[in-house]
Amino acid sequence: MAIVSFIINGKLKNKEKVKLSLLNSLHALNHTSYFFETTSKENAISLVKNVLENNSDYLITVGGDGSLNEVVNGYMKYIYPVKHKVVLGLLPAGTGNDFAKTLEIDNSIQLLVERINKKNHVSIDVGEVKYTGLDKKVSNRFFINITDIGIGGIVSKKLSESSRILGPDLTYIKAIIQSFLSYKPVTITLKSDVIQWKGNAMSICLANGKYFGSGMCIAPQASINDGKMQLVILGKVSMFDYLKNLSKIKNGEIINHPEVHYASISSCEIDAKEYSCPIDMDGEFIGYAPLSLIIHQKKIEFLSN
């Protein structure tokens, strides 16, 4: 018998139906379930404390990439320091569900319960970045999918203000095009253990997972547990270049372009003019460069296939 806690995005439309289905599925197998709903942005971070109080074996996020990012930050803040072993998991219920694509998991409750019963999980890396927060103070935050420096911060801000009536894919493409028209690449200096780079960049991605932006496979060579991030630099790339290579990005192909660079890195420092270069982390605009990255290798056990 396992103790399973769920942190559910409080904005999920069918949350009561999902809760009932999860409760019945786990109860039938003599598992104990606890449910916690978010009431505001960043609330999931503090809700993670409940997992320590009820001695949970599993902590499952029911939501999208943003909700998962909050749970990961709560885990690293409250659970990891006391060495309490809790396996994380995900029931994808967001707009993009990009990290779920890397792990090849869907929103099947039956398959989620099977993963719990079979104890199928994998050790994954956690990235930690230090940056300038929206309050203009130095902050740090953890991530397990992708952090994007440059145009991504503008895109995420536009997405937060957009109607999703067009669906996730078209809404994202619309936001990208709008951002290309308004964002001017800034000069970025990057220093890492394997590559030094300076130039005008539209975007620099630090990728643990392969996907961002509702299914864009921007980092096809990324691995979630090799102790490295796939670095993807998009230099002077035009909107035409982006649209021309859109199908290749979706298919996870390496882009052959003189302004596109790839590397596998263990750490890096990124500098730019103060407040000129925004940062997107898992679909959320979190602040600005300068930024530094370190990797915590295989720090989280995560339910997988």
Question: For the residues 46-75, what does the mean pLDDT come to?
Answer: 95
Domain boundary, last residue among 84, 119, 154: 119
pLDDT at 164: 61
Tokens 């409940």, residue located: 50
Structural domain includes residue 227:
yes
Indicate the range of 87-91, 171-175, 247-251, 296-300 predicted with least confidence: 171-175
Do 18 and 131 belong together in one domain?
no
Q: How many domains does the chain have?
A: 2
What is the C-alpha R_g of the chain?
19
Q: What CA–CA distances, in Å, run from 211 to 67, 95, 120, 282? A: 16, 13, 22, 10
pLDDT at 166: 64
Question: For the residues 191-203, what does the mean pLDDT come to?
Answer: 95
Do 179 and 271 belong together in one domain?
yes
Question: For the residues 268-290, what does the mean pLDDT come to?
Answer: 92
- The one-letter amino acid at 42: E
Do 133 and 72 belong together in one domain?
no
The pLDDT confidence band at residue 292, using thresholds 50, 70 and 90, is: very high
Question: For the residues 193-206, what does the mean pLDDT come to?
Answer: 95
Higher pLDDT: 208 or 177? It is 208
pLDDT at 176: 74
- pLDDT tens per residue across span 224-257: 999 999 999 999 888 888 888 989 998 999 999 9
- 239, HSE (Cβ side, Cα atoms, 13 Å): 12
**What pTM did the predictor assign?**
0.93
- pLDDT tens per residue across span 8-31: 999 999 999 999 999 999 999 899
Do 145 and 274 belong together in one domain?
yes
Do 282 and 177 belong together in one domain?
yes
Beta strand residue intervals within 15-145, DSSP E: 32-37, 58-63, 87-92, 121-133, 138-143
pLDDT at 214: 81
- pLDDT tens per residue across span 113-169: 999 999 999 999 999 999 999 999 999 999 999 999 988 777 777 666 666 666 666
Tokens 């982390």, residue located: 281
Give 85's DSSP letter: -
Tokens 């982006």, residue located: 242
What percent of the chain stands above pLDDT 90? 74
Rounded Cα distance between 262 and 9, Å, is: 35
Q: The domain spanning residue 246 has which CATH number?
A: 2.60.200.40
Higher pLDDT: 133 or 181? It is 133
Tokens 């980092």, residue located: 219
Q: What CA–CA distances, in Å, run from 57 to 48, 73, 89, 110? A: 13, 18, 11, 18
Tokens at 239, concatenated: 């909107």
Rounded Cα distance between 253 and 148, Å, is: 19
The pLDDT confidence band at residue 222, using thresholds 50, 70 and 90, is: very high
Do 202 and 144 belong together in one domain?
yes
Do 56 and 132 belong together in one domain?
no
